[in-house]
Chain A
């Protein structure tokens, strides 16, 4: 692998890992506080799966750079994180959490479907291994969106409010990194523009069938994964506080 490809691939892996880590963290905040006990269990499960994926991407990143995954997770500052703002927004209410997870699952399943046939074998193999988890996530979150969209006036109103807020942010998932086209040319990662079309084809009719209106604003608040909201700073202060008590400590 030439140096230019390797460099952009490590950036891509870090972006993938950070998305999953931050989303897993947000979802895990519900454990012990979910609307029904069954959802404490289910969401804990989804959070563990996403954290597991973050781990996979961090490990692949490590094979290319030597960077320790814990070092990356616990000792970077907010500006060094490469997740989209979409995943760092506070968990909100149940509608917000379920809708974000649904939009993410629909994206991730399509992404993994493609990545598993990519030409970078370690990445392709890892994707093939975890792809099926996303089918279960999507089944779970889809059924929640259906319940919430079609349930009561209040649940519909809350889910619509979540969609209005999340829709522009969700588009951030489809913004390629600068230089990502090299990876597309090498058939290592899929073309995000095309992935976006497939995603829209899938989620639009589904959301409409759940009596939700797709917002007209589809412009992501930022295209740059280095820009973050203040919510990420707060999240990292929580996440990193024990690890940073003593840099030498092994936990």
Chain B
């Protein structure tokens, strides 16, 4: 009785206390509308990123230069589809439907990771996506595996495990091409680094001082580290490994700071970042068009699936009714 009359403030206090105790919030639990809204936004953006992320790498499956690389790349892009699938399911636990989420993607309302609006120009780009893009994603996702919302957190644990594999595959290729490759392979690798390094650093999002959603996300235990903290961790981990291969990171200001023990980067081109976020990146139009086209081309297929399902339900009306506990009224 008392519980039913609890004011929203009390519910909020209890909700925040649960998060403070490190408990997970589960689908049926009370949660503030804003928590639900933020999660649907983040999880669906993340799902869309996986789905759009299939495109730049998928484009290289037909060109993979050995039977083994072809197999590995197919498996990798398949994993991205799988991640999209469980993230859409995680968003569904919050009341969103896949149809409305896809609709938001296709109409350009929903965002996805801007990094996928850059083109993959050579085979080495596939390797750099593995090392840098998946590496940066892992930083973010390892944090999100601690997130307060149970289904999101559990999806992240699984996704991180697979992404770690992708990261190793990408790195293995770069190490091979940079250390024992032909001059063409070495040039391809350096060219890829020149293009992928700057946008990878943008993947962590705006500086903390500019990040509008960060405060509430940290308060509710969805994010546990800031954009700048994650970015710096990534830089500190990857810079020495890349330099050890004799590759040059495209940043004249990059230097090691003895006092903080950190690698300090030069300024990030935030104008470019916002341009791409606003839809003006090199591949925004093409990526969206490819997704819209796949969806449109698949419409008649989905209609056929629905038609047959409907036929099955009507043909088996009494069986279905019985199974779901209704008395069959049709004669």
Contact = CB atoms under 8 A, between A and B. Distances in A.
A193 to B, nearest CB: 32
Contacts of B55: 32
A243 interface: yes
A77 B74 CA distance: 24
Q: What does DSSP make chain A's interface, helix, strand, loop or mixed? A: helix
B307 interface: yes
B74 A35 contact: no
Contacts of B78: 31, 40-41, 44-45, 48
Nearest to A27: B74
Nearest to B58: A32
B303 A58 contact: no
Contact of B66 (A44, A70, A147, A246): A70
Contacts of A154: 300, 303-304
Interface string A17-42: 00001000100110111111110110
Given A37-B81, A158-B300, A249-B181, A151 B307 contact: yes
Interface of B: 51, 54-55, 58, 61-67, 69-71, 74-75, 77-78, 81-82, 84-85, 88, 123, 176, 180-182, 184-185, 290, 293-294, 297-305, 307-308, 311
Contact of B71 (A29, A35, A51, A152): A51
Given A94-B298, A152-B307, A47 B74 contact: yes
Interface stretch (A102-110, A172-180, A183-191, A234-242): A234-242
Contacts of B185: 246, 249
Contacts, number: 139
B273 to A, nearest CB: 25
A158 B51 CA distance: 27
A251 B63 CA distance: 12
Q: Is the interface of B mostly helix, strand, loop or mixed?
A: helix
A93 interface: yes
B74 A44 contact: yes
Interface residues of A, number: 49
Contacts of A201: none
Given A94-B301, A242-B64, A249-B185, A31 B77 contact: yes
A246 B294 contact: no
Contacts of B69: 251
Contact of B298 (A35, A74, A245): A35
A41 B71 CA distance: 14
A73 B63 CA distance: 12
A248 interface: yes
B65 A243 contact: yes
Residue in B55, B63, B70, B77 with the greatest tally of chain A CB atoms within 10 Å: B70
A40 B71 contact: no
7 contacts: A32-B77, A33-B293, A35-B299, A48-B74, A55-B67, A151-B307, A152-B303
Interface of A: 21, 25, 28-29, 31-38, 40-41, 44-45, 47-48, 51-52, 54-55, 58, 69-70, 73-74, 93-94, 146-148, 150-152, 154-155, 158, 238-239, 241-243, 245-246, 248-251
Nearest to A241: B63
A98 to B, nearest CB: 9
A34 to B, nearest CB: 7
A99 to B, nearest CB: 13
Nearest to B122: A242
Contacts of B181: 249-250
Contact of A242 (B65, B82, B307, B308): B65
A73 B180 CA distance: 23
Contacts of A242: 63-65, 123
B305 A29 contact: no
Q: Which 5 A-B pairs have the closest CB atoms?
A: A35-B298, A151-B304, A155-B304, A44-B78, A32-B58
Contacts of A40: 54, 77-78, 81
B328 to A, nearest CB: 24
Nearest to A150: B308
Contacts of B75: 44, 48
B228 to A, nearest CB: 33
Given A48-B74, A155-B301, A158-B300, A146 B308 contact: yes
Nearest to B176: A250
A147 B66 CA distance: 36
Contact of A34 (B71, B184, B298): B298
B43 to A, nearest CB: 15
